[in-house]
């Protein structure tokens, strides 16, 4: 995997790629033309990159007992809200208001990255990520993904690994 140079980071990096570069993590950026009419940002990313949907992960923002929490799950499945709540020691989880999610993370829906957020949120990464050498997550805008090891993602975000996705 190629690291982005400081020059690349300054010429169009997102907060996510800047954070990865600053941490010295190996990563690859994948850009593609985003189709605003596509019904699923994650499935669009997988198709555009030619990557299996079980290696492309979406970042969802949920409210767990009043605390905004990130859930990073494969785009091929969905989020199990009960499992997410249990993973962080909570009782109830619901999807967060999209406007609040955007304002809190600093990213737009379909481009929310688990990295480089305006406010660091508790993060749970679906444990299926560990079955892959690398996974792809949003790099901070629609049409831009970053590929990195799940271990690096978990370390950088302080993520808890837990089975929060479902088919």
Whether the full predicted model's pTM is greater than 0.85, yes or no, is yes
pLDDT at position 6 is 40
pLDDT at position 34 is 85
Beta strand pairing call for 160-162 and 123-126? parallel
In whole angstroms, give the CA distance from residue 4 to residue 142: 19
The DSSP result for the chain, as a single string, is -PPPPHHHHHTT--HHHHHHHHHT---EEEE----TT-S-HHHHHHHHHT--TTSBEEEEEEEETTEEEEEEEETTSEE-HHHHHHHTT-S-EEEPPHHHHHHHHSS-TT---SSS-SS---EEEEGGGGGSS-EEEEEEETTEEEEE-HHHHHHHHTPEEE--EE-
- Among 120, 109, 124, which Cα is nearest to 72's? 124
Spacing of C-alpha 11 from chain mean position: 22
In whole angstroms, give the CA distance from residue 54 to residue 44: 13
Cα-based distances in Å from 103 to 21, 28, 84, 109, 147: 24, 27, 22, 10, 25
pLDDT at position 12 is 58
Q: What six digits make up the tokens of 57?
A: 């992960």
- Mean pLDDT by runs of 10 across the 167 residues of the chain is 39 85 95 85 87 94 98 95 98 97 94 94 97 96 95 97 95
- Among 64, 68, 57, which Cα is nearest to 134's? 57
């Amino acid at each position: 995997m190629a690291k982005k140079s400081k020059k690349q980071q300054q010429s169009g990096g997102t907060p996510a790629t800047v954070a990865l570069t600053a941490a010295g993590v190996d990563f690859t950026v994948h850009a593609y033309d985003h189709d605003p009419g596509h019904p699923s940002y994650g499935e669009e990313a997988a198709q555009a990159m030619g990557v299996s949907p079980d290696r492309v992960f979406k970042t969802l923002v949920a409210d767990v007992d009043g605390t905004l929490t990130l859930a990073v799950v494969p785009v091929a499945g969905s989020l199990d809200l009960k499992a997410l709540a249990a993973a962080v020691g909570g009782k109830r989880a619901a999807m967060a208001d999209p406007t609040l999610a955007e304002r809190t993370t600093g990213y737009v829906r379909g481009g929310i990255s688990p990295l480089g957020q305006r406010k660091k949120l508790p993060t749970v990464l679906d444990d299926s990520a560990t079955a892959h050498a690398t996974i792809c997550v949003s790099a901070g805008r629609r049409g831009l993904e970053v590929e990195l090891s799940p271990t690096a993602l978990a370390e950088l975000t302080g993520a808890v690994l837990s089975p929060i996705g479902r088919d």
